[in-house]
Amino acid sequence: DVKVTQSSRYLVKRTGEKVFLECVQDMDHENMFWYRQDPGLGLRLIYFSYDVKMKEKGDIPEGYSVSREKKERFSLILESASTNQTSMYLCASITGGAAEKLFFGSGTQLSVL
């Protein structure tokens, strides 16, 4: 069975901390994504990557960065966490080509106090 694994289900951090959210997929997918989910706002794309060491900004990249050193791992970094970054973060992956199905991780609920 395909798997996208996010390292933490719940995280509580303090304002100003550097936060790492980790995502690993075991499907050899080229493309990986980080979304943020907020009530009434749906799923908003933060960053995506279509290859190792490649990254592209999504719709709301401010305050975030990403790292993709290996094909299976895509990390989201909050350089200095702020309270408005309290949210559910979802990682997803998909194979290259005219693929159809986006596979999501189970999400990380981040609270910044």
Partner 1 sequence: GENVEQHPSTLSVQEGDSAVIKCTYSDSASNYFPWYKQELGKRPQLIIDIRSNVGEKKDQRIAVTLNKTAKHFSLHITETQPEDSAVYFCAATLNTGFQKLVFGTGTRLLVSP
User: What minimum distance in Å lies between the beta carbon of 19 and partner 1?
Assistant: 21
User: Reduced to 3 states, what is the DSSP secondary structure of residue 85?
Assistant: helix
- Tell me the Ramachandran region of residue 35: left when phi exceeds 0, alpha when psi lies from -120 to 50, beta otherwise: beta
* Residue from the set 27, 43, 60, 77 that interacts with partner 1 by CB under 8 A: 43
d(CA 55, CA 66): 7
d(CA 22, CA 59): 20
* Residue from the set 7, 13, 50, 73 that interacts with partner 1 by CB under 8 A: 50
Nearer to partner 1, 50 or 86 (CB): 50
- Contact between 45 and partner 1 by CB under 8 A: the answer reads yes
Chain positions contacting partner 1, by CB under 8 A: 31, 35, 40-45, 48, 50, 58-59, 90, 94, 96-102, 104-107
